[in-house]
Amino acid sequence: MKTFEEKWTAWLDDQLSGRELSEFEGSLPEKAAAQAEKAEAKKLGELLKRELTARPLTNEEFFSHQLRERIVQKSGEQPRKRARGSSTSSWWTIPRLLWAGTASLAVFLICTILVMRQERPAEESQYLTQILNARVDPVVSPNATVSIFEVKQDRATVLWTEGLQSLPADYAAK
Amino acid sequence: MHRSLAVVISVLVLTIIAPPALQAAETVWSGLVIADNISQPQPIPSELTRIEGLLKKFFGYNQFQVIGQSQKTLKTGQEDWLATSKFFGLHVDARGEIQRGYVLNLKLYKEKELLLETEAKLSKRSPLVIKGPQVGGGQLLLVLIVQ
Protein backbone atom coordinates (compact mmCIF):
# COMPACT_ATOMS: atom_id res chain seq x y z
CA MET A 1 0.00 0.00 0.00
CA LYS A 2 1.53 3.30 -1.17
CA THR A 3 1.59 6.29 1.09
CA PHE A 4 0.27 9.67 -0.03
CA GLU A 5 3.81 11.01 -0.50
CA GLU A 6 4.74 8.09 -2.76
CA LYS A 7 1.61 8.58 -4.80
CA TRP A 8 2.22 12.35 -4.96
CA THR A 9 5.78 11.84 -6.22
CA ALA A 10 4.57 9.29 -8.76
CA TRP A 11 1.80 11.72 -9.88
CA LEU A 12 4.32 14.55 -10.30
CA ASP A 13 6.46 12.24 -12.43
CA ASP A 14 3.41 11.10 -14.45
CA GLN A 15 3.88 7.60 -13.15
CA LEU A 16 0.24 7.07 -12.23
CA SER A 17 -2.26 5.80 -14.72
CA GLY A 18 -5.78 4.40 -15.03
CA ARG A 19 -7.76 3.84 -11.90
CA GLU A 20 -4.89 4.75 -9.59
CA LEU A 21 -4.58 8.14 -11.31
CA SER A 22 -8.29 8.93 -11.15
CA GLU A 23 -8.49 7.84 -7.51
CA PHE A 24 -5.48 9.98 -6.53
CA GLU A 25 -6.72 13.04 -8.44
CA GLY A 26 -10.10 12.55 -6.82
CA SER A 27 -8.48 12.55 -3.36
CA LEU A 28 -6.75 15.90 -3.95
CA PRO A 29 -8.53 18.71 -2.01
CA GLU A 30 -7.52 21.48 -4.48
CA LYS A 31 -6.86 19.98 -7.81
CA ALA A 32 -6.03 23.35 -9.52
CA ALA A 33 -3.36 24.17 -6.94
CA ALA A 34 -1.94 20.66 -7.25
CA GLN A 35 -1.82 20.97 -11.08
CA ALA A 36 0.01 24.32 -10.70
CA GLU A 37 2.49 22.73 -8.31
CA LYS A 38 3.02 19.83 -10.75
CA ALA A 39 3.73 22.30 -13.54
CA GLU A 40 6.24 24.16 -11.36
CA ALA A 41 7.95 20.92 -10.42
CA LYS A 42 8.25 19.94 -14.08
CA LYS A 43 9.73 23.34 -14.93
CA LEU A 44 12.22 22.99 -12.09
CA GLY A 45 13.14 19.49 -13.25
CA GLU A 46 13.73 20.67 -16.81
CA LEU A 47 15.83 23.57 -15.54
CA LEU A 48 17.95 21.30 -13.38
CA LYS A 49 18.37 18.82 -16.23
CA ARG A 50 19.49 21.59 -18.54
CA GLU A 51 21.91 23.20 -16.11
CA LEU A 52 23.39 20.17 -14.46
CA THR A 53 24.35 18.16 -17.56
CA ALA A 54 28.19 17.63 -17.86
CA ARG A 55 29.71 20.57 -19.66
CA PRO A 56 32.60 19.67 -22.02
CA LEU A 57 35.95 20.93 -20.59
CA THR A 58 38.15 23.37 -22.42
CA ASN A 59 41.84 22.47 -22.95
CA GLU A 60 43.11 24.59 -20.07
CA GLU A 61 40.54 23.20 -17.73
CA PHE A 62 41.36 19.67 -18.90
CA PHE A 63 45.07 20.06 -18.20
CA SER A 64 44.60 21.75 -14.86
CA HIS A 65 42.20 18.98 -13.98
CA GLN A 66 44.76 16.34 -14.98
CA LEU A 67 47.42 18.18 -13.02
CA ARG A 68 45.29 18.38 -9.96
CA GLU A 69 44.53 14.68 -10.22
CA ARG A 70 48.24 13.86 -10.50
CA ILE A 71 49.09 16.06 -7.52
CA VAL A 72 46.43 14.35 -5.51
CA GLN A 73 47.78 10.95 -6.63
CA LYS A 74 51.36 11.85 -5.79
CA SER A 75 50.58 13.39 -2.47
CA GLY A 76 48.85 10.14 -1.73
CA GLU A 77 51.84 8.11 -2.94
CA GLN A 78 54.54 10.05 -1.10
CA PRO A 79 53.55 9.12 2.41
CA ARG A 80 53.31 5.53 1.21
CA LYS A 81 56.80 5.73 -0.34
CA ARG A 82 58.21 7.38 2.73
CA ALA A 83 56.75 4.67 4.81
CA ARG A 84 58.31 2.03 2.53
CA GLY A 85 61.69 3.85 2.27
CA SER A 86 62.04 4.29 5.97
CA SER A 87 61.94 0.58 6.44
CA THR A 88 64.66 -0.20 3.79
CA SER A 89 67.19 2.53 2.74
CA SER A 90 66.43 5.75 4.53
CA TRP A 91 70.16 6.56 5.09
CA TRP A 92 70.99 6.97 1.37
CA THR A 93 69.32 10.28 0.76
CA ILE A 94 70.46 12.34 -2.26
CA PRO A 95 72.46 14.91 -0.23
CA ARG A 96 74.22 12.09 1.59
CA LEU A 97 75.01 10.36 -1.69
CA LEU A 98 76.46 13.62 -3.02
CA TRP A 99 78.55 14.14 0.10
CA ALA A 100 79.77 10.57 -0.08
CA GLY A 101 80.78 11.07 -3.73
CA THR A 102 82.60 14.31 -2.94
CA ALA A 103 84.39 12.76 0.01
CA SER A 104 85.47 9.78 -2.13
CA LEU A 105 86.85 12.08 -4.81
CA ALA A 106 88.70 14.16 -2.23
CA VAL A 107 90.26 11.02 -0.72
CA PHE A 108 91.23 9.87 -4.21
CA LEU A 109 92.88 13.22 -4.98
CA ILE A 110 94.76 13.26 -1.69
CA CYS A 111 96.05 9.72 -2.34
CA THR A 112 97.09 10.69 -5.87
CA ILE A 113 98.98 13.76 -4.62
CA LEU A 114 100.72 11.70 -1.92
CA VAL A 115 101.75 9.02 -4.42
CA MET A 116 102.97 11.67 -6.87
CA ARG A 117 105.05 13.33 -4.14
CA GLN A 118 106.65 10.04 -3.22
CA GLU A 119 107.55 9.41 -6.83
CA ARG A 120 108.98 12.87 -7.41
CA PRO A 121 112.70 11.98 -6.94
CA ALA A 122 112.39 9.30 -9.61
CA GLU A 123 110.49 11.68 -11.84
CA GLU A 124 113.13 14.37 -11.52
CA SER A 125 115.72 12.06 -13.00
CA GLN A 126 113.27 11.29 -15.78
CA TYR A 127 113.23 14.98 -16.62
CA LEU A 128 116.97 14.90 -17.17
CA THR A 129 118.42 14.05 -20.55
CA GLN A 130 119.54 10.43 -20.67
CA ILE A 131 122.47 9.03 -22.58
CA LEU A 132 121.40 5.69 -24.01
CA ASN A 133 124.80 4.76 -25.43
CA ALA A 134 128.04 6.40 -26.53
CA ARG A 135 130.81 5.14 -28.73
CA VAL A 136 134.20 6.58 -29.64
CA ASP A 137 135.97 5.34 -32.76
CA PRO A 138 138.62 2.99 -31.35
CA VAL A 139 140.83 3.43 -34.41
CA VAL A 140 141.00 7.21 -34.19
CA SER A 141 141.08 7.39 -30.38
CA PRO A 142 142.08 4.00 -28.99
CA ASN A 143 142.40 5.18 -25.37
CA ALA A 144 139.24 7.24 -25.22
CA THR A 145 136.66 6.73 -22.47
CA VAL A 146 133.22 8.15 -21.90
CA SER A 147 131.47 9.02 -18.64
CA ILE A 148 127.99 10.34 -17.99
CA PHE A 149 127.13 12.97 -15.40
CA GLU A 150 123.66 14.05 -14.44
CA VAL A 151 123.96 17.51 -12.97
CA LYS A 152 120.69 17.70 -11.10
CA GLN A 153 121.38 21.15 -9.70
CA ASP A 154 121.51 22.56 -13.23
CA ARG A 155 119.13 19.98 -14.66
CA ALA A 156 121.63 19.04 -17.32
CA THR A 157 123.45 15.96 -18.52
CA VAL A 158 127.10 15.92 -19.47
CA LEU A 159 128.75 13.30 -21.63
CA TRP A 160 132.38 13.49 -20.66
CA THR A 161 134.92 12.06 -23.04
CA GLU A 162 138.51 11.56 -22.11
CA GLY A 163 141.42 10.67 -24.36
CA LEU A 164 140.08 11.94 -27.67
CA GLN A 165 142.72 12.91 -30.19
CA SER A 166 143.85 16.52 -29.51
CA LEU A 167 143.71 18.95 -32.39
CA PRO A 168 145.60 22.14 -33.20
CA ALA A 169 144.06 25.56 -32.47
CA ASP A 170 143.22 26.02 -36.18
CA TYR A 171 140.33 23.63 -35.69
CA ALA A 172 138.54 26.22 -33.57
CA ALA A 173 137.77 28.20 -36.71
CA LYS A 174 134.16 29.05 -37.45
CA MET B 1 73.54 23.16 -1.06
CA HIS B 2 72.91 20.78 -3.98
CA ARG B 3 74.21 23.35 -6.42
CA SER B 4 77.45 23.93 -4.54
CA LEU B 5 77.95 20.20 -4.23
CA ALA B 6 77.43 19.77 -7.95
CA VAL B 7 80.01 22.51 -8.63
CA VAL B 8 82.56 20.90 -6.30
CA ILE B 9 82.07 17.50 -7.92
CA SER B 10 82.32 18.96 -11.43
CA VAL B 11 85.57 20.75 -10.59
CA LEU B 12 87.07 17.62 -9.06
CA VAL B 13 86.05 15.44 -11.99
CA LEU B 14 87.37 17.95 -14.52
CA THR B 15 90.64 18.20 -12.62
CA ILE B 16 91.04 14.46 -12.75
CA ILE B 17 90.08 13.84 -16.33
CA ALA B 18 91.48 17.04 -17.79
CA PRO B 19 93.53 16.13 -20.87
CA PRO B 20 97.21 17.12 -20.93
CA ALA B 21 98.05 20.31 -22.76
CA LEU B 22 98.58 19.88 -26.46
CA GLN B 23 102.19 19.66 -27.45
CA ALA B 24 103.46 22.40 -29.68
CA ALA B 25 106.32 22.12 -32.15
CA GLU B 26 109.61 22.74 -30.36
CA THR B 27 112.97 24.03 -31.44
CA VAL B 28 116.23 22.29 -30.68
CA TRP B 29 119.30 24.43 -30.65
CA SER B 30 122.52 22.52 -31.33
CA GLY B 31 125.87 24.22 -31.18
CA LEU B 32 129.59 23.60 -31.50
CA VAL B 33 131.26 25.63 -28.79
CA ILE B 34 134.91 26.34 -28.13
CA ALA B 35 135.60 26.88 -24.47
CA ASP B 36 138.84 28.42 -23.34
CA ASN B 37 140.40 30.56 -20.67
CA ILE B 38 141.53 34.05 -21.58
CA SER B 39 142.25 37.17 -19.60
CA GLN B 40 139.41 39.22 -21.06
CA PRO B 41 136.60 36.84 -21.91
CA GLN B 42 133.77 37.84 -24.19
CA PRO B 43 130.24 37.65 -22.87
CA ILE B 44 128.60 34.28 -23.22
CA PRO B 45 126.37 33.84 -26.29
CA SER B 46 122.67 34.24 -25.53
CA GLU B 47 121.91 30.62 -26.42
CA LEU B 48 124.19 29.48 -23.59
CA THR B 49 123.13 31.85 -20.82
CA ARG B 50 120.76 29.21 -19.47
CA ILE B 51 123.69 26.87 -18.75
CA GLU B 52 126.40 29.46 -18.13
CA GLY B 53 126.86 28.38 -14.53
CA LEU B 54 127.14 24.73 -15.46
CA LEU B 55 129.65 25.39 -18.24
CA LYS B 56 131.91 27.53 -16.11
CA LYS B 57 131.73 25.34 -13.03
CA PHE B 58 131.88 21.96 -14.72
CA PHE B 59 134.45 22.62 -17.44
CA GLY B 60 136.47 25.36 -15.76
CA TYR B 61 136.63 27.79 -18.68
CA ASN B 62 135.70 31.45 -18.72
CA GLN B 63 134.91 32.04 -22.37
CA PHE B 64 132.54 30.17 -24.64
CA GLN B 65 132.31 30.90 -28.34
CA VAL B 66 129.88 29.34 -30.77
CA ILE B 67 131.74 28.21 -33.89
CA GLY B 68 128.81 26.41 -35.49
CA GLN B 69 125.14 26.10 -34.76
CA SER B 70 121.77 24.99 -36.02
CA GLN B 71 118.25 25.65 -34.88
CA LYS B 72 115.69 23.07 -35.90
CA THR B 73 111.98 23.14 -35.24
CA LEU B 74 110.76 19.62 -34.70
CA LYS B 75 107.29 18.87 -35.99
CA THR B 76 107.29 15.11 -36.40
CA GLY B 77 110.26 14.33 -34.19
CA GLN B 78 111.82 12.47 -37.12
CA GLU B 79 113.87 15.30 -38.60
CA ASP B 80 117.64 15.38 -39.00
CA TRP B 81 120.01 18.30 -39.32
CA LEU B 82 123.63 19.36 -39.24
CA ALA B 83 125.49 21.96 -37.22
CA THR B 84 128.85 22.67 -38.76
CA SER B 85 131.99 24.72 -38.28
CA LYS B 86 134.95 24.86 -40.65
CA PHE B 87 136.32 21.49 -39.50
CA PHE B 88 133.62 19.90 -37.38
CA GLY B 89 130.18 18.66 -38.13
CA LEU B 90 127.48 17.54 -35.68
CA HIS B 91 124.84 15.43 -37.35
CA VAL B 92 121.63 15.14 -35.33
CA ASP B 93 119.08 12.53 -36.31
CA ALA B 94 115.82 12.73 -34.36
CA ARG B 95 114.30 9.26 -34.00
CA GLY B 96 110.99 10.08 -32.46
CA GLU B 97 109.29 12.07 -29.78
CA ILE B 98 108.94 10.60 -26.31
CA GLN B 99 106.91 11.81 -23.35
CA ARG B 100 109.29 14.55 -22.27
CA GLY B 101 111.61 15.00 -25.21
CA TYR B 102 113.16 13.40 -28.24
CA VAL B 103 115.36 10.41 -28.98
CA LEU B 104 118.39 11.69 -30.86
CA ASN B 105 121.29 10.02 -32.57
CA LEU B 106 124.34 12.30 -32.55
CA LYS B 107 127.48 11.96 -34.63
CA LEU B 108 130.48 14.25 -34.31
CA TYR B 109 132.66 14.42 -37.35
CA LYS B 110 136.07 16.01 -37.79
CA GLU B 111 135.90 16.71 -41.49
CA LYS B 112 134.83 13.25 -42.72
CA GLU B 113 136.11 11.32 -39.75
CA LEU B 114 133.63 10.08 -37.19
CA LEU B 115 134.94 10.92 -33.73
CA LEU B 116 132.02 10.15 -31.50
CA GLU B 117 128.55 8.66 -31.76
CA THR B 118 125.92 8.67 -29.08
CA GLU B 119 122.22 8.16 -28.64
CA ALA B 120 120.35 10.23 -26.11
CA LYS B 121 116.89 11.01 -24.87
CA LEU B 122 117.02 14.77 -24.96
CA SER B 123 114.63 16.14 -22.37
CA LYS B 124 112.76 19.35 -23.04
CA ARG B 125 113.87 20.66 -19.67
CA SER B 126 117.40 19.37 -19.58
CA PRO B 127 120.24 20.45 -21.88
CA LEU B 128 122.90 18.03 -23.05
CA VAL B 129 126.58 18.99 -23.10
CA ILE B 130 129.19 16.73 -24.67
CA LYS B 131 132.86 17.25 -24.07
CA GLY B 132 134.64 16.86 -27.38
CA PRO B 133 138.32 16.83 -28.26
CA GLN B 134 140.92 19.32 -27.04
CA VAL B 135 141.40 22.06 -29.64
CA GLY B 136 144.54 24.12 -29.08
CA GLY B 137 144.33 25.50 -25.56
CA GLY B 138 140.59 25.09 -25.45
CA GLN B 139 137.95 22.47 -25.60
CA LEU B 140 135.25 21.62 -28.11
CA LEU B 141 131.85 21.27 -26.51
CA LEU B 142 128.65 20.13 -28.16
CA VAL B 143 125.51 21.61 -26.70
CA LEU B 144 121.89 20.63 -27.36
CA ILE B 145 119.03 22.59 -25.82
CA VAL B 146 115.28 22.33 -26.40
CA GLN B 147 114.21 25.96 -26.53
| Average pLDDT per block of 10 residues along chain A, 174 residues long | 83 86 86 88 86 71 83 74 58 87 94 81 73 89 90 92 90 88
pLDDT tens digit sequence for B33-68: 999 999 999 999 999 999 999 999 999 999 999 999
pLDDT tens digit sequence for B96-125: 988 888 999 999 999 889 999 999 999 988
Residue B11 included in any domain? no
Alpha-carbon distance values, B136 to A77, A93, B31, B56 (Å) = 98, 82, 19, 18
Same domain, A27 and A12: yes
Same domain, A133 and A161: yes
Residue B124 included in any domain? yes
pLDDT tens digit sequence for A47-73: 888 877 766 667 777 888 888 888 888
Could you tell me the pTM of the whole model? 0.57
SS (H, E, C) B110-126: ECCEEEEEEEEEEECCC
Residue B117 included in any domain? yes
The distance of B58 to chain A (nearest Cα, Å) reads 9
Contact B12 A161 (CB under 8 A): no
Say how far apart CA A156 and CA A148 lie, in whole Å: 11
Residue B17 included in any domain? no
pLDDT over threshold 60, residue B20: no
Same domain, A86 and A72: yes
Which residue range forms the structural domain that includes residue B105?
A: 23-146
Same domain, A120 and A133: no
The reported pLDDT for the residue numbered B22 is 44
The reported pLDDT for the residue numbered A23 is 87
The reported pLDDT for the residue numbered A108 is 95
Which residue range forms the structural domain that includes residue A44?
A: 4-52
Say how far apart CA B90 and CA B141 lie, in whole Å: 11
Say how far apart CA B56 and CA B62 lie, in whole Å: 6
Contact A169 B125 (CB under 8 A): no
Contact A129 B16 (CB under 8 A): no
Percent of chain B topping pLDDT 70: 84
* Residues of chain B neighbouring A127 (CB-CB closer than 8 A): 100, 123, 125-126
Cα torsion through A104, A109, A114, A120, rounded to 10: 160
Specify the number of domains making up chain A.
4
pLDDT over threshold 50, residue B21: no
The distance of B100 to chain A (nearest Cα, Å) reads 7
* Residues of chain B neighbouring A132 (CB-CB closer than 8 A): 103, 118-121
Question: Is residue B13 very low, low, confident or very high in pLDDT (cuts 50, 70, 90)?
Answer: low
Same domain, A84 and A64: yes
Specify the number of domains making up chain B.
1
Predicted complex ipTM: 0.83
The reported pLDDT for the residue numbered B9 is 59
Distance of CA B11 to the CA centre of its chain: 37
Mean pLDDT across chain B: 87
